[in-house]
Amino acid sequence: MERGQRREQLRAAIALTIAFNLFTLLVFTLSGYFRGPESFRESLTIGLPMMIVDGFISFQLYFVLRGTAELQAVLRWSLVTVAVVIVALLQAVWDTELRVWADTLTSDYRQAFIRSTTINTYNSGMLAALLAFQAAYAALKANQQQLDLARQREREAQMLALRFQLNPHFLFNTLNAISSLVVSGRPRDADTMIDRLSSFLRGSLAADPDRLVTVEEEFEMLENYLEIESVRFGDRLAPSITLPDDLGDAQVPPFLLQPLVENAVKYAVAPSRTPVRVGIAARERGGRLELEVSDTGQGGTDASSGTGVGLANVRERLRLSFGSHSEMAVHDGQGFRVVLTMPLVRRPASSQQHSLAA
């Protein structure tokens, strides 16, 4: 256990012990009041010094509980029980001697000692139970914090792994296309594609996979990607990007739509002999953000299966980013269309000002 956690538990145990003994003192004083003036004077005379010493003695139960925390349950609670009895006996000696000193003993010493032992055993047992409950709650809270931290790190690792699946996949396809352009005697197109690939990869490598980007930034990246693919497919690729001005600052995970656009190019544009429109659109519906990637190709089961890097990657990243507050709908018929729905989260004004200043 860290030193800071130990100090926090110690402070909590001290506060709990003080509160418990103050409550006991209050009950002791009130019982004296209702028994009559003489009993009330007795409780006022010996109540405070009795509870101060009793509280100090009973607080030792905290150290017993802490020192036996690693032991097996049977052995631990046996030692705690013994400690409770010893504490009760010490308190009984003090309480009885205090009554003798104050000349308030109403019975013989032996009877007073037995009575005090019985009461203090009950009180010490109750305090030990409260201290054990407090320690268990603190341990549960610490474990929950560690679990939350572990889940956060796991989520970040998953996001990073999913993001790193994109770059090699896209890079392989693009390099293959560049090689085809060189072989087919189109060096200018190959040079143009290399320049655009360099620009695309600079933005890709600079992006933080666990940081949200604006829809405007995401669409600019997709436009760059489609420019790369347009060198390869020419007029067969007809891109269409629709972004309302009031949604440019909405935030999404980076490269969320790129696998969907890549799927459209791979399954709709590549096998087609005629122009295929690849549409990318953003809209607000019911206070939520909808992002759509569609194509006018022939469609097909390969694109809609969602078992490869494309749809499965997007579905998982959407889940990790927004949980149950997001959904992905796939429509395969006349063309292919994927609609992502997620909370509409806008970039804070301070971040926008910072970006403008940069």
Model pLDDT for residues 160-205, shown as the tens digit of each residue: 555 555 556 667 777 887 888 888 888 888 888 888 778 777 766 6
Ramachandran class of 103: left when φ > 0, alpha when ψ lies in -120 to 50, beta otherwise: left
For residues 265 and 296, the answer to whether their CB atoms sit within 8 Å is no
> The dihedral of CA 214, 332, 234, 259: what is its sign?
positive
The listed range with the strongest mean pLDDT (200-209, 277-286, 323-332) is 277-286
Sheet arrangement for strand 335-343? 237-242, 276-285, 288-295, 335-343, 327-333
Cα separation of 120 and 16, whole Å?
17
pLDDT score for 279 = 95
304 band by pLDDT with thresholds 50, 70 and 90 = very low
**pLDDT tens per residue across span 116-158:** 889 889 989 998 998 888 888 888 888 888 777 767 666 666 5
Query: SS3 string of the chain?
Result: CCHHHHHHHHHHHHHHHHHHHHHHHHHHHHHHHHHCHHHHHHHHHHHHHHHHHHHHHHHHHHHHHHHCCCCCHHHHHHHHHHHHHHHHHHHHHHHHHHHHHHCCCCCCHHHHHHHHHHHHHHHHHHHHHHHHHHHHHHHHHHHHHHHHHHHHHHHHHHHHHHHHHHHHHHHHHHHHHHHHHHHCCCHHHHHHHHHHHHHHHHHHHHCCCCCCEEHHHHHHHHHHHHHHHHHHHHHHEEEEEECCHHHCCEEECCCCCHHHHHHHHHHHHCCCCCCEEEEEEEEEECCEEEEEEEECCCCCHHHHCCCCHHHHHHHHHHHHHHHHHCEEEEEEECEEEEEEEEECCECCHHHHHHHHHC
**pLDDT tens per residue across span 62-111:** 888 888 888 888 998 999 999 999 999 998 898 888 888 877 777 788 88
Rounded to two decimals, what is the model's pTM? Answer: 0.53
Written as six digits, the tokens of 332 are 């395969």
Residues facing residue 276 across a β-bridge: 237
**pLDDT tens per residue across span 16-55:** 888 888 888 888 778 777 777 766 777 777 778 888 888 8
